[in-house]
Amino acid sequence: MTVDLTADPSAHADDDRDRTTRARSAEAASPEAAASPGPVGTPDPHASMPTTGRYAGHLHFDETITPVLRTDFDVEAYTKRGTSRIAVDTELLGSQEPLRDQERLALGVLHRMESSGLAEARTMLSTVTANEARITAFLATWLVDRHWQARALRDLLTGDHPVERPAPSRRPSRVAALRRIHVDRVQPLLTPLWNAAAGEPVAAGHMARMAIQEASLAAGLDAIARRLGGEAERVVRTVRARQEAAVDFFTQEAIGRITRSRKEAVVARLVLSLGSPLHGGGVPDPDLDAALQVLGADPRDRAGLQRARREITRLLPGPDLPDAHLLSLPRSGA
């Protein structure tokens, strides 16, 4: 055998690369090769992508996946509108007629319910509801709104004191204390089981709960504003105006979900049966029933508080068990 020692070894390597490149180009150009199984001709997964109908253009999207719910609420515009602290003129407030005890009690309950936004968001975002992009985008701005709304009500009661908070006038009951333990320690452990049992429809339950809570807050703010005057009334009406966006969003989301699927409606009914939406953060306020006596003194306001719940529950299957707290509303009044 004769070996040519003058030959360039790199030339053979270049020839091999050229042959490999030409072979691969031919395989790519051949439809038969592309369709053939094996490592050389791997099937194109996009060949099975729907081209018509509601799933057109979605490779991994079929009837087993719930479509994203889109309502008339413009989430993008809401997140871009900006938010800021609601100014309270404490000097002017101090020069006007002071708040009466009943009004302070009702404002305290509304303040604490507004302050529960972070706890409510934790409940929602620790479940599969966090997979809903429109909901999570809304909550990011909503939490800031809730903070400033709660701060404005607090300023009415404490005069912008740096650390003082409006505290309930009554001690929590034993049931409320146990509920606090459940929310803080037990509920986080049950969340994985809740996710597995309810799945995606749990978002409908959360939206139903928040729709009732936001509408109840709005009705309560309307009621207390009619009892106030001067700077206090102005601040409360400003808070009420900001509340409207949250009422619209959660109500549209809730109705859209519970009317498109019976399973979502059933889960929403179950969520509402586990606790009153008037329990901010899942824990009842010791002054809630007494505050409802104040907020529901006028027939218009009683109707508004009842309507906040009925707007959602009328669409749910099964009997509607009344919220026990609403039973404490006055039976009559001017």
Q: Is the pTM of this model over 0.85?
A: no
Residue 132: name the closest of 49, 254, 245, 248 by CA: 254
Whether the CB-CB separation of 127 and 188 falls below 8 Å is answered with no
pLDDT mean for each 10 residues of the chain (334 residues):
48 53 50 46 62 62 68 95 92 95 97 96 93 95 97 93 86 87 86 84 96 98 97 98 97 96 94 94 94 95 96 93 88 65
Distances (CA, A) of 30 to 22, 41, 269: 12, 10, 58
In the chain, where the domains are located: 91-163+172-328
Output DSSP code: residue 287: T
Residue appearing with tokens 């996009």: 46
**What was the pLDDT predicted at 15?**
54
Nearest to 127 by CA among 54, 44, 207, 192: 192
SS3 at position 15: helix
pLDDT (0 to 100) of residue 57: 58
Q: Determine the pLDDT at residue 38.
A: 46
Q: What is the pLDDT of residue 29?
A: 47
User: To which H or E segment does residue 142 belong?
Assistant: helix 133-158
pLDDT at 196: 83
Architecture of domain 91-163+172-328: Orthogonal Bundle (1.10)
- Cα separations in angstroms, 281 against 21, 32, 122, 179, 284: 64, 62, 9, 10, 8
- Give the model's pLDDT for residue 5: 45
Whether the CA torsion 291, 295, 297, 299 is positive or negative: it is negative
